[in-house]
């Protein structure tokens, strides 16, 4: 194999395997829903906030042992939760949500 072919082979190999090595080294990010403050959720925007609120609603439903819900009730609960969090940014988000999840 010529030096040129060897260099091309080395470059192609590096380009193919470098992303795999980079991905393999990444440590998965683990979040704790119980550690979020109201201000953390309120700083989220758009889809990220919607996902966080859906996660909290799902957590509450799972904790209560049901899969049944009323959309209007969830929407009202979300509105009250957001208003509360805007007024109390330093409070724990999950504990604050529990106040409205009755």
Tens-place pLDDT, residues 73-101: 999 999 999 999 999 999 999 999 998 87
The answer to whether position 28 is within a domain reads: no
| Domain with 73 in it | 33-100
Q: For the residues 66-77, what does the mean pLDDT come to?
A: 90
Query: CA–CA separation, 17 vs 32, rounded Å?
Result: 33
Distance of CA 73 to the CA centre of its chain: 23
Q: What is the tens place of the pLDDT at every residue in 25-44?
A: 677 777 788 899 999 999 99
Q: Which two tokens stand for residue 24?
A: 């393999």
Question: What average pLDDT does the chain have?
Answer: 80
Please give the pLDDT value at position 45: 87
The answer to whether position 10 is within a domain reads: no
The answer to whether position 80 is within a domain reads: yes
E strands within the chain? none
- CATH code of the domain covering residue 84: 1.10.890
The answer to whether position 83 is within a domain reads: yes
Query: CA–CA separation, 11 vs 62, rounded Å?
Result: 51
The answer to whether position 93 is within a domain reads: yes
The answer to whether position 20 is within a domain reads: no
The answer to whether position 92 is within a domain reads: yes
Give which of 99, 90, 101 is closest to 57, Cα–Cα: 101
Residue 96: helix, strand or coil by DSSP? helix
Query: CA–CA separation, 97 vs 56, rounded Å?
Result: 8
Please give the pLDDT value at position 19: 53
Q: Which two tokens stand for residue 43?
A: 């700083």
Could you count the other beta carbons within 10 Å of the beta carbon of residue 38?
23
Please give the pLDDT value at position 57: 92
Q: Which two tokens stand for residue 64?
A: 């209560």
Q: What total of structural domains would you count in the chain? A: 1
The answer to whether position 26 is within a domain reads: no
pTM: 0.68
More confidently predicted of 83 and 45: 83
């Amino acid at each position: 194999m010529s030096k040129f072919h060897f260099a091309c082979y080395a470059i192609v190999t590096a380009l193919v395997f470098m992303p795999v090595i980079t991905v393999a080294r990444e440590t998965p990010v683990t979040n704790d829903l119980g550690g979020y403050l109201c201000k953390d959720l309120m700083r989220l925007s758009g889809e990220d906030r919607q996902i966080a609120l859906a996660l909290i609603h799902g957590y509450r439903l799972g904790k209560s042992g049901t899969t049944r819900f009323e959309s209007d009730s969830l929407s009202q609960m979300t509105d009250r939760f957001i208003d509360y969090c805007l007024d109390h940014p330093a409070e724990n988000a999950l504990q604050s949500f529990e106040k409205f999840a009755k």
